[in-house]
Structure 1
Amino acid sequence: MSTDERRPEEAGFIFRGKAVPDKDRSIREEGGAERGSTAENTISIHIDEVMHSTAELRGLRGRDALVITEHRATFEGGEEFVFFTDVVSLGDDLIVRELGHRRATSEAREEIAETLRAAVERPLAERVRHAELIVTGEVTASRVLERPSPPRSEHDPEWGIARVAVRTVLKGKKPKGDVEVLFANSHDIAWYKSPKLHEGKRGIFLLHLAGQEDEDDHPRDLPRPIHKAIDPLDFLPADREADVRRLIDQEGGR
């Protein structure tokens, strides 16, 4: 499969490297049989840089990977490539299956790095795009609303309302005074990643109108429209402000 047919971020393990001739010779001499592969469709590649991986794979720089590929001859010249792969086996021998490759020119590496960065940021970019109001500030008070009896669900969010003192408006119309924000106080599995907006919480708030995305994302008896912050990305530490500003600028440029 060529890289034109598959987005780079869809490969589980992306790295830059080149063939290890001596190890290729030993693979041929030993028959090269590994999980259905043969000497003709495997090649040993030294990993010079890990560009995309899971947390478990980030420390593999400097190791050799046995790559199952249909393009062995392409890599035997010692040229450096970026490999788009999925891991077959992670043990004494690292075995990966090639999904695509590109010559590791500086232009290609920059393009791949930008594509991967955009993929990582895509969920946050979506929250930024749909937020009605984005502010920096601090929670000065919060209270948990009375729960319905019996709860409407075993995963009851235990709704609360936080009062946020706004310091800076990054997106949207500047509010008059503090902003009230609905949040889920529950630590149930359905809500434990949702921001807990208690007094002293300080950072960046990505605020959405309750009921705008889902009719069940707020108490049904609220007397007025209210902002909410219930997605894990709706509250960010203050040091992410530059990232949020950049995504807002990108949104404005579309």
Structure 2
Amino acid sequence: MPNTSSPEDLADKARFVFRGKVEKLNAATLPEVRDTSKTAVVRVEETIQSPKALSHYTGHSITVQFANPAEVKVGDEAVFFTDAWLFGNEGIAVRSLGHHPPGPQTAALRPSEEDPITHLEDRDTRKHYDGADMVVSGRIVSVRLFGDPKAGPSTREHDPDWREAVVDIDQVHKGDRGKKEIVVRFPASQDRMWHKAPKLEVGQSGYFLLHGGFNTTGTEARAVPVGATPDFYTVLHPEDFELGDHPGQIQKLLSRIPGTGTR
């Protein structure tokens, strides 16, 4: 069955993308893989995008598990879109999300100057940017408690301990360009569910990837019209905030998108 997803779509889903050649069918490089009915040994010829842990397998043979192993045969060359499955002393095994023969579409996935790790980081940041409702740069002028200040400490497990930061906007990179100030909610809790979320402080200047939310009444969420302005914005992901004097993935991305660049 041919792949129905494009190389670009598969690259957005996969963590480890490489060009490789099928060496053996119904085989594995790891003794931990006992059922080889859906696996093949594939030599990694070129790594296109990769997390750090998988970045050094170019030139090595690895195990690939396929949903439909009948789609490949010995000698096939393809670009494989995969996720990590097993790690062992003899190498790794990955699960295939799909593959495409080499061609113009797969060639377009290759970074011209970047290494595979940076290429994956850039793709992740772009997906995060695309999912944000607003992207702004500015300075935090105040931080306050959210909710009733007279209420005592919450006893709920994993309580986020919400705060609100007031941000004086310097530039809107995505979203309502008429805004000069915005209120951003963030969890101040160091609970394991929230400890990686940005902890905003007065005086910090930087870049914010903001995600809109809507207030609810009781236990029922109200109907929200398409395109409605969010009731509030949050930063929850570690990559939702980047200090202005520590240029990173957000500033790098904005410099590449016309009309959104840093100044």
TM-score range relative to shorter protein: 0.5 to 0.7
Give the helix-richer structure, 1 or 2: 1
Q: What pairs up with 1:155-166 in 2 under 5 angstroms?
A: 155-166=158-169
Give the corresponding residue for 1:104.
102
- The residue type equivalent to 2:214 in the other structure is Q
Among residues 121, 124, 130, which one is paired with 1:125 in the alignment? 130
Change (3 A) 1:194 1:80: same
Give the corresponding residue for 1:172.
176
Look at both structures and tell me which one has the larger radius of gyration over its CA atoms: 1
Tell me the distance in 2 between the aligned counterparts of 1:193 and 1:147. Answer: 27
Give the corresponding residue for 1:45.
42
Q: What pairs up with 1:169-248 in 2 under 5 angstroms?
A: 169-170=172-173, 171-176=175-180, 178-207=181-210, 212=214, 227-232=232-237, 233-238=239-244, 239=247, 240-241=250-251, 243-244=253-254
- The residue type equivalent to 2:108 in the other structure is E
Tell me the distance in 2 between the aligned counterparts of 1:226 and 1:66. Answer: 48
Change (3 A) 1:236 1:125: farther
- The residue type equivalent to 2:202 in the other structure is E
Question: How high is the TM-score relative to the length of structure 2?
Answer: 0.61
Give the corresponding residue for 1:4.
4
Change (3 A) 1:199 1:102: same
Contact 1:81 1:104 (C-alpha < 8 Å) held by counterparts: yes
How high is the sequence identity, in percent, across the aligned residues?
28
Q: CA deviation at 1:16?
A: 0.6
Q: What pairs up with 1:65-84 in 2 under 5 angstroms?
A: 65-67=62-64, 69-70=69-70, 73=73, 75-76=74-75, 80-84=77-81
Give the corresponding residue for 2:222.
none
Change (3 A) 1:82 1:198: same
Structure 1 residues without counterparts, runs of 5 or longer: 28-33, 217-224
- The residue type equivalent to 2:126 in the other structure is E
Contact 1:207 1:227 (C-alpha < 8 Å) held by counterparts: no
1:201-234 per-residue CA deviation (whole Å, 9 max, x = no partner) reads 221124466x626569xxxxxxxx9744332254
Q: CA deviation at 1:100?
A: 3.7
Question: How high is the TM-score relative to the length of structure 1?
Answer: 0.63
Contact 2:214 2:232 (C-alpha < 8 Å) held by counterparts: no
Tell me the distance in 1 between the aligned counterparts of 2:209 and 2:21. Answer: 44
Contact 1:155 1:190 (C-alpha < 8 Å) held by counterparts: yes
Give the corresponding residue for 2:116.
none
Change (3 A) 1:49 1:136: same
Report the number of matched residues.
Answer: 219
What is the aligned-residue RMSD (CA, Å)? 4.2
SS at match of 1:196: coil
Change (3 A) 1:45 1:236: same
Contact 1:182 1:226 (C-alpha < 8 Å) held by counterparts: no
